[in-house]
Structure 1
Amino acid sequence: MLFPLSVSPLRPVAASVAVAVAACALPAMAAEPFVLKDIRIEGLQRTDPGTVFAALPFRIGDTYTDEKGSAALRALFATGLFRDVRLEVEGDVVVVVVDERSIIANVNFVGLKEFDQDTLLKSLKSAGIGEGLPFDRATVDRAEQEIKRQYLSRSLYGAEVVTTITPQERNRVNVTFTIVEGETARIKDIRIVGAKAFSERTLLGLLEQTTGGWLTWYTKTDRYSRAKLNADLETLRAYYTNRGYLEFNVESTQVTISPDKQEISITISIREGQPYTVTGVRLEGDLLGKEDEFRSLVKIQPGEPYRSEDVAETVRQFTERFGFYGYAFARVESRPEIDRANGQVAVVLSAEPQRRVYVRRINVAGNTRTRDEVIRREFRQFESSWYDGQRIKLSRDRVDRLGYFKEVAIDTEEVPGALDQVDLTVNVAEKPTGNLMLGAGFSSAEKLTLSGSIRQENVFGSGNYLGVEVNTSRYNRQLVFSTVDPYFTIDGISRAVDLYYRTSRPINSQGEDYQLVTPGAAVRFGVPFSEYDTVYFGVGIERTEIRGSALPNAYFVYRERFGDTALSVPLTLGWARDQRDSALVPTRGRYQRVNVELSPGGDARYLRSNFQVQQYFALGPRFTLGLNGELGYGKGLGGRLYPVFKNFYGGGLGSVRGFDQSSLGVVDPTGAYLGGNRKINLNAELYVPVPGSGNDKTLRLFGFVDAGNVWGEEEKVKLDDLRVSAGLGLSWISPVGPLKLSVGAPVRKQPADRIQRFQFQIGTAF
């Protein structure tokens, strides 16, 4: 006798409904319970029979009932592998008849330009659309809608997506998304309604989104984005609340799009309210008996307009200070007490430290390349120790300063069942740490000069540095191989090894045929004395040979007295302190270094020292002032002359722009530029955003003023001899790496000075 039970749903959602309906109909077609002697499966093409048997709630020898049959149907449909499933009872045998879903053979895109195809394929696969996955029309429809939504986020409101399903042999299908992207909708107009205290033009200048401009092809700030609009609204709110308008509110936002879906208009309605002045600050709650210490952290100034920025910073400082004492979950709240009649507000800061905790475990996440130990060795907070917010912050900063990650964040998580324990998770996002640098300069003397270097700051994720530098300058050529192990010992002592081969010829105007050839090697060690200070010491060996017959007088005299080769064993001692917030685009902080090179023995005996300090100032959120000063001094030892080939040079990149590279200093009677044993170099740069680029820090203009010179042993250092230049430049963190262009002109010069007006440098990461 045959009792079929079947469901043929078109969609998985309908399957359960159909199964339920079938189950309700069973009493009318009910089979009497019986003992199973066999189970057969029919209709399989690709699916392993074991998958079907595993889903069945009965086995041979079990008693079959209609309830078990309904459960079997539900389980088989839940696998998502079948379009149709039937159970047929033939005597004491159950036959499972299945109709398998098609398998997706390929996913293709036609007309895709705005998005990367591989990224989109990966995203769709996570949503159930990908090669080798079961085909489901409902899932494909959802994928189509998601692709449209992604285009809307890029302001492509006219984008159309059509899905084509092409059957293939062996029950497979190809899924093709044909896309007509259309033109990007641009913001035509932005209006701010209700502004009285500040002009509309001032407020529009705060927004990241703008109307079309000459640079919006690059910045894309004229593309509408809801997320960016929300960020702009918060910017407006912060601007007002930082100027006393405590009750500022955005009443509404209206976004309209033209019928052709090409132009967007935005209207923002605001209510300013009245400005408030702070009358006082009151502290409440448990301050651990350190009220004076916490009060010193208050940034809110009575008598000044209410500033939400100061309130937020004070709350942050309080929370951080509680963390220093081990209270990881301290709650600090600010509460304004408003006197609207008099336009005054008193700020109440309420603190509740909660409980003190210690760190059970420190986890590392997101490091796909860098080894855990490279991150962990930078930590100053230890496991099984009391939670210390200051050490945790320092640990985060040290990991960030490695330069291996785009983002570094530390999350604190409570340990279930342990009120006095927390786990820390260090979340990092890797970035390329290899760098290929190409440099070029043009001058009347050297014409086109090329230089390049390739380096990897995190070899195989070990944290070690490896680099090769090549320079093809007409006057200074070099090949340098360098490697640095920042943790040569477990105490953090670093070791650096340099191997180099340099040839150089000082710039001259007479065409003398000579050069200096210097092969050498050096090893240096760095000992950290604090979180910001490192002392370096090392030893090297190098051999300098003066080649050629037509020499400048200074080289001829030196060769006549000491021979054409000079062997030296320089000892180095240095100190560095780096407190900048970024090595690539610093906006605040200071960098200092001192380096002393001493060669007491060998053919060349000398002392060579160099001191440098850099200071950066953030002039508001968009402007940065950078200052740089450098002093150099060299002296011969043991009654010997200071080696002319150890001279300092000035002019050009890294010195006084607007003057030819290495052209400042002593001029030999033959016309050769020899540099000098004393150097002064001063630089000032003011970085400003490019008009139309908003707050984009990857593209900035800068103005510079440089001053400096070098002097020989027989010359007196006079500030009147300083050369001065000024100019403009462009700094761009481009897709292929940092690019810097500068054009300079001399402000103070001498008639014999060589001029170099244009320089650029570009690098690319891999």
Structure 2
Amino acid sequence: MLRYATVLLLCCCLLGQYAVAEPVKGEKGPQPQPAQQGQAAPSDGGLSLSVTGGTRRLRDNVRAHLSPLPTNPAERASFLFTYQDKAQEALQALGYYQGTLNPTIERKEGNWSLSLELEPGEPMRYQFVTVLLEGEARQDPAFINKLNNLKIQPGDVLNHGDYESLKTSLITLGLIRGYFDGEMVQNRLELDRDNNIANLVLLYDSGRRYGLGEVTFWASELNPDVLESMVPFEPGTPYHSDEIGKLTNSLFSSGYFQDVKVLPHPEQAEDGLVPVEVGIAPPPRHSLQLGFGFATDTQFRISTIWRTPVVNRYGHSQETRGELSQVNPKLSFDYRIPLSHPLNDQLQFQALVGREEFGDIDSNQYQAQIGRKQVSENGWTRSLYLRALLEDWSQDTLDRRAHYAMPGISFTHTRRAGPPLDPRTGFRQTYQFEHGDSALGSSQRITRFRAQLRAVFTPYRKHRIASRLDFGVNVINDDELVDLAPSLRFFAGGDQSIRGFGYQTLGPTRTVEDDDGNQTTISVGGRYLLVGSLEYQYYWRDKWRFATFVDSGNAFDINESEAIDVVTSVGVGAHWISPIGPIRLDVGFGVSEPDTPWRIHVTIGAEL
């Protein structure tokens, strides 16, 4: 009976296309009515739709199957012939084969509306779910794990989308893991509509698992040994698309290439090994980069970087960097020679000339260093080096000079999750040990240790915690401390230390007298360093966050006549997560000091 009513309405619709009512002069013609809540508003000659009953997921699926709605009489006529079948398909796709539709079609002043009331009934559920494997995948841990954790289980409501996803995921997993001959041998979904039950049977025959074969490089002038050192697998390694991704990342990260394309060829496999072809494009011979920056510690800064990513066919590279600022201008040179791996094992030659302010001391530094940097499989970076340092400075109205030859070792490890410029969680740790001795050419005998820890975590979506800890110690004779170069002493204060105070202005002080007899207290740095910080951040917009913090600690000496002077500051800040990294505006107040000094700090860059 319902079908006949639909046909009758369709005939009226078709006839109505040729009957155009002229409005009486001075009166308004029929006006489209705004859609009611839950309806789609019709255009002139179209139709509005309202769906009620059932779950929200069922209603949304029905609307999706009936979209787009008709916008003219001809489309409306076709829609009224097919909407019931499409709505039933929407219910059945989610396992409701016993559902009924209660439609109501109305026409008011030329506006058509269709109201569907859903009575979904009981859903169809799986009675048996059988997924079988043939071939080498039967012994593959990844496939075994997938079968042990199927998203479809007996008793679940039938969902055709989940069923199709399961089939696709088995085939996709096979391709990812090198089962290029895999196929779905059996693919049955048996439906018993009378008893409202479904049975699923899938049989995936993976065939053999292929291995990775030889890697061929095209259009590269680099020595073959350098190229092969960047291949993360040996021929015969079981195929996995992750290995292809690792190779791509290794080549890009080396800086040797402007473009990289890695193409495995399963169709050319021989003896079960898939050859891999790599097409690469060389980078520009030289590149020059100009940059501008600002931070409260270093003021305005202009930097230039000259890079030569490939000096010769052996993969040597160089980077020359110049920075001009009011506080610490410097010029540095870094020359890298790949050893066993261009990224993970390098011989480095470095040189630096610069000037830096340490409290009230201006220091000129001349430095050269040779070392070996290695990155382990677990992400730790180890550097073994020999550093030569010549430093000039003025202190106590006297010009001083010291020189050092210090072997050292450092370890660094960083892990993070989330966007690199604003990670949700992460932990960075750096440890450095150096030793200088007169027998090696140093002005004093000194042993140094420095540890720097940085951590961030986000316990809740809008709430973030950032913390850091800096610790340092110099082992040196008391009578030689005054002659220690400023860059080897410890100072506190500044953007990355204790906010509310100037850059490297905190630490042990000394009273000096100038030529006119005036006495001045200056900061001369300490033997030890201990500074900690805890900061709470709240995201009040996606790219904006409010911060409040406390910083505490100092650089100090330990002796019987002086107590440790612990300096503490508190403050607030506003941070904008910009495309180049967080830009932080913080205001710190030195609450531990009698006059409560305060200072504005502007910094750019992530905490890790």
RMSD, matched Cα = 5.7
Work out whether 1:398 is the aligned partner of 2:250. yes
Q: Contact 1:597 / 1:609 at 8 angstroms: preserved in 2?
A: yes
Q: 1:607 maps to which residue?
A: 447
Q: 1:573 maps to which residue?
A: 409
Work out whether 1:729 is the aligned partner of 2:575. yes
- Distance, in Å, in 2 between the alignment partners of 1:423 and 1:756 is 62
Q: 1:672 maps to which residue?
A: 522
- Distance, in Å, in 1 between the alignment partners of 2:150 and 2:309 is 41
Q: With structure 1 as the length reference, what TM-score do the two structures score?
A: 0.49
Q: Tell me how far 1:565 sits from its aligned partner.
A: 2.2
Please give the secondary structure, in 1, of the residue aligned with 2:358.
Answer: coil
Please give the secondary structure, in 2, of the residue aligned with 1:288.
Answer: helix
Q: Contact 1:650 / 1:663 at 8 angstroms: preserved in 2?
A: yes
Query: 5+ unaligned residues in a row in structure 1: which ranges?
Result: 1-190, 201-239, 257-269, 509-513, 552-558, 692-699
Please give the secondary structure, in 2, of the residue aligned with 1:395.
Answer: helix
Q: 1:635 maps to which residue?
A: 474
Q: Contact 2:547 / 2:572 at 8 angstroms: preserved in 1?
A: yes
Q: 2:291 maps to which residue?
A: 437
Q: Tell me how far 1:479 sits from its aligned partner.
A: 2.6
- Distance, in Å, in 2 between the alignment partners of 1:192 and 1:599 is 82
Q: 1:252 maps to which residue?
A: 67
- Distance, in Å, in 1 between the alignment partners of 2:223 and 2:63 is 49
**Residue 417 and residue 690 in structure 1: after superposition, are their counterparts in 2 closer, same or farther (change >3 A)?**
same
Residue type of the alignment partner of 1:609: F
**Residue 476 and residue 534 in structure 1: after superposition, are their counterparts in 2 closer, same or farther (change >3 A)?**
closer
Q: 2:434 maps to which residue?
A: 597
Residue type of the alignment partner of 1:608: R
Q: 2:303 maps to which residue?
A: 452
- Distance, in Å, in 2 between the alignment partners of 1:632 and 1:674 is 18
Work out whether 1:652 is the aligned partner of 2:504. no
Percent identical residues: 14
Q: Contact 1:607 / 1:637 at 8 angstroms: preserved in 2?
A: yes
Q: With structure 2 as the length reference, what TM-score do the two structures score?
A: 0.60
Q: Contact 1:284 / 1:349 at 8 angstroms: preserved in 2?
A: yes
Query: 5+ unaligned residues in a row in structure 2: which ranges?
Result: 1-33, 41-55, 72-85, 96-122, 512-519
Work out whether 1:536 is the aligned partner of 2:379. no
Q: Deviations over 1:170-201 (max 9, x none)?
A: xxxxxxxxxxxxxxxxxxxxx999979xxx9x
Match of residue 215, structure 2, among 357, 362, 365: 362
Residue type of the alignment partner of 1:759: V
Q: Deviations over 1:716-762 (max 9, x none)?
A: 998974434431222333xxxx3653210226633456544242559
Q: 1:415 maps to which residue?
A: 267
Match of residue 335, structure 2, among 474, 477, 483: 483
**Residue 644 and residue 350 in structure 1: after superposition, are their counterparts in 2 closer, same or farther (change >3 A)?**
farther
- Distance, in Å, in 1 between the alignment partners of 2:568 and 2:380 is 32
Q: 1:188 maps to which residue?
A: none
Q: 2:231 maps to which residue?
A: 379
Work out whether 1:701 is the aligned partner of 2:541. no
Q: Tell me how far 1:526 sits from its aligned partner.
A: 1.5
Q: 2:133 maps to which residue?
A: 285
Q: Deviations over 1:512-564 (max 9, x none)?
A: xx63222121111113442523321010111222336537xxxxxxx8xxxx3
Please give the secondary structure, in 1, of the residue aligned with 2:247.
Answer: helix
714-723 or 610-619, which deviates more: 714-723
Work out whether 1:662 is the aligned partner of 2:526. no
- Distance, in Å, in 1 between the alignment partners of 2:353 and 2:540 is 41
**Residue 313 and residue 743 in structure 1: after superposition, are their counterparts in 2 closer, same or farther (change >3 A)?**
farther
Residue type of the alignment partner of 1:536: S
Match of residue 556, structure 2, among 712, 732, 750: 712
**Residue 570 and residue 412 in structure 1: after superposition, are their counterparts in 2 closer, same or farther (change >3 A)?**
same
Q: Tell me how far 1:599 sits from its aligned partner.
A: 1.6
Residue type of the alignment partner of 1:438: F
- Distance, in Å, in 1 between the alignment partners of 2:199 and 2:537 is 39
- Distance, in Å, in 2 between the alignment partners of 1:456 and 1:307 is 56
Q: Contact 1:650 / 1:708 at 8 angstroms: preserved in 2?
A: no
Q: Contact 1:572 / 1:597 at 8 angstroms: preserved in 2?
A: yes
- Distance, in Å, in 2 between the alignment partners of 1:296 and 1:573 is 48
Q: Deviations over 1:322-371 (max 9, x none)?
A: 856x5456569999999999999999886543322233342457x89999
- Distance, in Å, in 2 between the alignment partners of 1:307 and 1:688 is 40
Please give the secondary structure, in 1, of the residue aligned with 2:250.
Answer: helix
Work out whether 1:506 is the aligned partner of 2:332. no
**Residue 396 and residue 753 in structure 1: after superposition, are their counterparts in 2 closer, same or farther (change >3 A)?**
farther
Q: Tell me how far 1:504 sits from its aligned partner.
A: 2.9
Residue type of the alignment partner of 1:414: P
Q: How does 1:101-120 map to 2 (within 5 A)?
A: none
Residue type of the alignment partner of 1:379: V
Q: 1:522 maps to which residue?
A: 369
Q: How does 1:148-159 map to 2 (within 5 A)?
A: none
- Distance, in Å, in 1 between the alignment partners of 2:220 and 2:337 is 21
Q: Deviations over 1:11-54 (max 9, x none)?
A: xxxxxxxxxxxxxxxxxxxxxxxxxxxxxxxxxxxxxxxxxxxx
**Residue 422 and residue 314 in structure 1: after superposition, are their counterparts in 2 closer, same or farther (change >3 A)?**
same
Q: 2:17 maps to which residue?
A: none
- Distance, in Å, in 2 between the alignment partners of 1:320 and 1:330 is 10
Q: Deviations over 1:139-190 (max 9, x none)?
A: xxxxxxxxxxxxxxxxxxxxxxxxxxxxxxxxxxxxxxxxxxxxxxxxxxxx
Q: Contact 2:590 / 2:596 at 8 angstroms: preserved in 1?
A: no
Q: Deviations over 1:467-506 (max 9, x none)?
A: 3344444443433222233447789531222212233333
- Distance, in Å, in 2 between the alignment partners of 1:403 and 1:244 is 53
Residue type of the alignment partner of 2:213: R
Q: Contact 2:556 / 2:564 at 8 angstroms: preserved in 1?
A: no
**Residue 519 and residue 354 in structure 1: after superposition, are their counterparts in 2 closer, same or farther (change >3 A)?**
same
Aligned residues: 482
Q: 1:11 maps to which residue?
A: none
- Distance, in Å, in 1 between the alignment partners of 2:166 and 2:465 is 26
Q: Contact 2:570 / 2:590 at 8 angstroms: preserved in 1?
A: yes
- Distance, in Å, in 2 between the alignment partners of 1:675 and 1:711 is 7
Residue type of the alignment partner of 1:285: L
661-670 or 603-612, which deviates more: 661-670
Q: How does 1:462-477 map to 2 (within 5 A)?
A: 464-477=316-329
Residue type of the alignment partner of 1:663: T
Q: How does 1:117-128 map to 2 (within 5 A)?
A: none
Q: Deviations over 1:401-431 (max 9, x none)?
A: 4467898775432234747342334577999
